[in-house]
Amino acid sequence: MSAIEIRNLSYQYPTGSEEVLHNLNLTIESGKFYALAGVNGGGKTTLCNVIRGFIPHFFKGERTGKVLIEGKDVQDWDPSDLAQKVGFVFQNPFTQISGVKETVFDEIAFGLENLGVEVDVIRQRVQDIIGLLGIGYIQDKNPNELSGGQKQRVALASIIVMEPDILIFDEPTSQLDPQGTEEIFRVIDIMKKKGKTIILVEHKIELIAEYADYVIVLQDGEIKKQGRTEEVLADEATQDFGLGLTQYTLLDLAMRKQHMHTERIPITEGDSVSVMKQWMEFQGVKA
């Protein structure tokens, strides 16, 4: 079943001089992990805001076409149902704190309080998420006093604790080092294994290759490419849209130029190892 259906979607900001999204059509399958990629200014953030209904609610401007979540247009959803259905984490961690809570623990609990969840359940769920993200050491700190990376983890925790079916993450690792980024991907992967639908805007191609099921490439408000990750990221043409390929793919493509044809083009480290092994065996080289 599809989680989100987008039909003939166009949008222009009230202060913009031209459309930012042109006649988009897209189907997001339930329980899958989608990576949204493309050059800066391609419209990724805009699309995320449209899917979550913040456009046109907050940003005004005219949106045409349809954005259906479980068959109902996002604009017709009740705000509290929607908050429970679609989680949204955006790039800037500094504005992603409620501004009224004195500890990280209470901050993470804020969404559940608003949903009227029972206090005991809240405590348990917050505790679980804190464990999952490994942020127990800051749970009694004031959210205002955290570093950018810590705030980003708290922002993520505050949303996934609400257990929405669909999770939209717009560059949730911008403030994190490579190790922190890996950890976040691990958490997102756990969410996927729990059956959540995930839409992630991300530039780090190695991680997309590793975790995403599908890649959607957006440029100038149009979908330039979409498909299974192993197809999109193995295609040389993808580079035309400002998206790098992984070093494993690039190596394989370079080999092909030298007429060394592997069986298929790998996109991840593990992939690459098995493809190489196969190729060497085929060539009669003993590894």
Partner 1 sequence: MKNFKKDFTLISILLIPIGVAVNVVAGELVEILKIPLFLNQIGTMIVAMVAGPWVGAVTGGVSKLIFGIFNPTQLAFMPVAMASGIVVGLMAKKGFTKNAWKTAFTGFIVALVAILIATPTTVIVFGGASGTGSDTITAVLLASGKEIWASVFTQKIFVESIDKILSIMVAYMIVRKMSDQYLSKQKYGHLYLNMNQNKHNRKIGA
Partner 2 sequence: MERPGKFILNLYPTTKFLFAFCLMMTPLLLPGYLYSYMVPVLCLVIALIAGKTKLYVNFVLKGLVPIVVMIFLLQSFFYPGDTVLWSWSIFSIKQEGIHFSLQLTSKILAIGSSIVLFFQITKINDLSRALELMGISPKATYVLSAALNIIPEMRLQLLRIMDAQKTRGVETEGSLTIRMKAFVPALTPLILSSFSSTDEKAITLESRAFTARTKKTSLHHLEKTKSDHVVRALLVIAVVSILIGRFFL
Ligand X SMILES: Nc1ncnc2c1ncn2[C@@H]1O[C@H](COP(=O)(O)OP(=O)(O)OP(=O)(O)O)[C@@H](O)[C@H]1O
Binding site for partner 2 (CB under 8 A): 49, 52, 54, 58, 78-80, 83-84, 87-90, 92, 94-100, 102, 105-106, 109-119, 122-123, 144, 155, 158-159, 162
* Options 3, 4, 45, 252; binder of Mg ion; rule CB under 5 A: 45
Provide the token pair at 69: 């979540």
Residue 56 preceded by cis peptide, ω within 30: yes
14 binds partner 1 (CB under 8 A): yes
Q: What is the distance between the alpha carbons of residues 145 and 216, in angstroms, rounded to a whole number?
A: 36
The torsion angles phi and psi of 18, rounded to 5 degrees, stand at -145, 170
- Name which of 111, 63, 109 is nearest 83 in CA terms: 111
16 versus 270: smaller Cβ distance to partner 2: 16
Q: Least CB distance from residue 151 to partner 1, whole Å? A: 18
Residues interacting with ligand X, by CB under 6 A? 13, 15-16, 20, 38, 40-46, 59
Q: CB under 8 A: which stretch of 52-60, 129-137, 211-219, 246-254 binds partner 1?
A: 52-60
48 versus 126: smaller Cβ distance to ligand X: 48
Burial 109-126 (b: 16+ CB within 10 A, else e): bbbbeeeeeeeeebeebb
Q: Least CB distance from residue 272 to ligand X, whole Å? A: 28
99 binds partner 1 (CB under 8 A): yes
* Options 7, 59, 66, 182; binder of partner 1; rule CB under 8 A: 59
Q: How many CA atoms lie within 13 A of 22 on its CB side?
A: 10
Q: What is the distance between the alpha carbons of residues 78 and 86, in angstroms, rounded to a whole number?
A: 12
59 versus 77: smaller Cβ distance to partner 1: 59
CA 269, 204, 180, 200 torsion-angle sign: negative
Q: CB under 5 A: which stretch of 18-26, 39-47, 151-159, 202-210 binds Mg ion?
A: 39-47
Residue 45 interface partner, choices Mg ion, partner 2, partner 1, none, CB cut-off 5-8 Å depending on type: Mg ion
Q: What is the distance between the alpha carbons of residues 36 and 43, in angstroms, rounded to a whole number?
A: 10
- Name which of 183, 251, 188 is nearest 35 in CA terms: 188
Q: What is the distance between the alpha carbons of residues 38 and 222, in angstroms, rounded to a whole number?
A: 10
Q: What is the distance between the alpha carbons of residues 166 and 52, in angstroms, rounded to a whole number?
A: 10
Q: Least CB distance from residue 23 to partner 1, whole Å? A: 23
Task: Please name every residue paired with 28 in a beta bridge, in sequence order, or none if there are none.
Answer: 4
Q: What is the distance between the alpha carbons of residues 205 and 244, in angstroms, rounded to a whole number?
A: 7
37 versus 198: smaller Cβ distance to ligand X: 37
Residue 185 interface partner, choices partner 2, partner 1, ligand X, none, CB cut-off 5-8 Å depending on type: none
15 versus 258: smaller Cβ distance to ligand X: 15
173 binds Mg ion (CB under 5 A): no
Binding site for partner 1 (CB under 8 A): 13-15, 58-60, 99
